[in-house]
Amino acid sequence: MTIKPCKRVLTMSKKLIPSRSSTELTDYKRVEQLFQRISAHIDIARQTVQRTVNTEMVKAYWLIGQEIVEEEQKGKKRAEYGAYLLDELSVRLTKKYIKGFGVTTLKDARQFYLVYADYSPIRHAVRGEFSNPSFSQNLSWIHYRNLMRISRPEARQFYEIEAEKNNWSGRELERQIGSLLFDRLSLSKDKKGLLKLAKKGQEINEPQDAIKEPVILEFLGLPESHRLVESKLEEALISNMQHFLLEMGKGFAFVARQKRLTLEGTHFYADLVFYHTVLKAFIIIDLKTHPLSHADLGQMQLYVNYFDQEIRTEGDNSTVGLILCTKQNKTMVKYFFGDKKQNVFASKYQFHLPTEKELEAELKREIKAIKHQLNEAETSEEKMNYVPFELENYVNSPVALARIKAMVTQEELAQEMSVLQSYISRIERQKTVTAKTFDKVQQALAALLKKQQVKH
């Protein structure tokens, strides 16, 4: 027995889905487009109003701070007057405005004025009124509350410029201050470069301008462990890509992970690939859970050469390689590439925010190395004619041989061998070399070879 569908049900079903004529569809699309345009106007207006409110409140806090400071100065002979003033003001303002004007906020307003006193408004000559001070429309009270706690004017100016240029939220600014971004970028700059950094913020003209040392990955929540595997580190970065892009800085755009490169049937995989919109270049990042080795540099150079020849298109600049490792070796990088233009860099990464003491120690090491080289140049012109400063520093160091004797792994020995071979190559390219220097290099090389034989 065949069951026939009820005609009445079918009729009702058709009524539930009314048909539209082509004219009605056109009208519907036009209304939708109009709705989108009007919504955009409303959203922009709301954003403008919010920025205006933020800017006006910043000005208000500055003026509140000014009033408090000037009143305190009038009664400065009575120490207890300052505490009474803030308590009494807080009670009255809270009674009138309900919230937002506790003693802590009033103290912040006072500190804000003291730090930004240069924004002094001008009193109107006729009416005796104040013209408002001028502050950035892109920075809110939360931003300035973070900025005013920075004691160094040059660092404060840098963070203010960067926060405005990069549209950092209050939380993002707080994180960049906590990671000592200014100090990390200023490590490799001279006095002129430091002044430019403070006045103009971070400017990226060369690949090295986009590289930070160290790279801070505290947002991953990973422990400082020697058992960490590269795949876990990569997965954590992918899961926290927004935070990673903030740490790497402006211009980084994520392209791919585990990018496969095939050479005559052999596959290689680049961990992370980015495109830098300012440098107009691909940036390949390789993750290593061990100290930098010459093998890491060779592998990255292979990736960079492949991208330049097979992937880079017209308008792209040379590909940049960045190795993130647990410990870098600047001397190894320098002698690995020699006089060639360097497009491969290495940076140490760490899973905790740096302290000022850590960066201060790093800066002192840099200054000490520079001073040592300058002293060598002034006291021994002969040395400059024969061998590079780094070689003299190495072979004349009282701990050079001791360092070799203390090495316990084949990887450490291989690294030292790579450095020494670079030195030997440089010596061989010189027409002459001091006998004393050559003897010390030979001693170091002999000690290294002996240690390697024992290990084998």
Residue 169: how many CB atoms within 10 A of its CB?
A: 13
Contacts of 139 (CB under 8 A, 6+ apart): 54, 58, 147, 160, 163, 164
SS (H, E, C) 54-88: HHHHHHHHHHHHHHHHHHHHHCCCCHHHHHHHHHH
Q: Is 173 exposed, middle or buried (0-12, 13-18, 19+ CB in 10 A)?
A: buried
> Measured between alpha carbons, how far is 254 from 283 in angstroms, rounded to an integer?
9
> Measured between alpha carbons, how far is 151 from 204 in angstroms, rounded to an integer?
26
pLDDT of residue 353: 76
The SS3 call for residue 244 is helix
Torsion angle, alpha carbons of 175, 180, 181, 187, to 10: -170
Q: Mean pLDDT for each consecutive 10-residue tract of the chain (456 residues)?
A: 48 48 73 80 75 81 87 64 79 82 88 80 45 76 91 88 89 86 74 74 84 86 75 90 90 92 89 93 92 90 92 92 89 81 87 70 59 50 39 46 51 60 56 54 62 53
> Measured between alpha carbons, how far is 274 from 157 in angstroms, rounded to an integer?
29
pTM: 0.58
The runs of H, that is alpha helices, within 75-190 are 79-97, 103-115, 141-147, 153-165, 170-178, 181-186
> Measured between alpha carbons, how far is 188 from 321 in angstroms, rounded to an integer?
19
Look-up: residue for tokens 């097979």?
310
AA identity, residue 195: L
pLDDT of residue 255: 93
List domains and CATH numbers for the chain: 39-119 (no CATH), 146-203 (no CATH), 206-378 (3.40.1350.10), 380-455 (no CATH)
The runs of H, that is alpha helices, within 316-388 are 330-337, 356-379, 381-386
pLDDT of residue 398: 45
Cα torsion angle, 221, 223, 224, 225, sign: negative
AA identity, residue 410: Q
> Measured between alpha carbons, how far is 438 from 450 in angstroms, rounded to an integer?
18
Residues 315 and 280: beta-carbon distance below 8 Å? yes
Q: Is 232 exposed, middle or buried (0-12, 13-18, 19+ CB in 10 A)?
A: middle
Report CA-CA distances (Å) from 21 to 14, 30, 281. Answer: 15, 14, 51
End-to-end CA distance of the chain: give it in Å, rounded. Answer: 89
Q: What is the CA radius of gyration of the chain?
A: 32
> Measured between alpha carbons, how far is 388 from 422 in angstroms, rounded to an integer?
11
pLDDT of residue 368: 60
Residues 79 and 130: beta-carbon distance below 8 Å? no
Residues 416 and 448: beta-carbon distance below 8 Å? yes
Cis peptide before 291 (omega within 30 of 0): no
Token couple for 244: 């990673």
Q: Residue 226: CA atoms inside 13 Å, Cβ hemisphere, count? A: 2
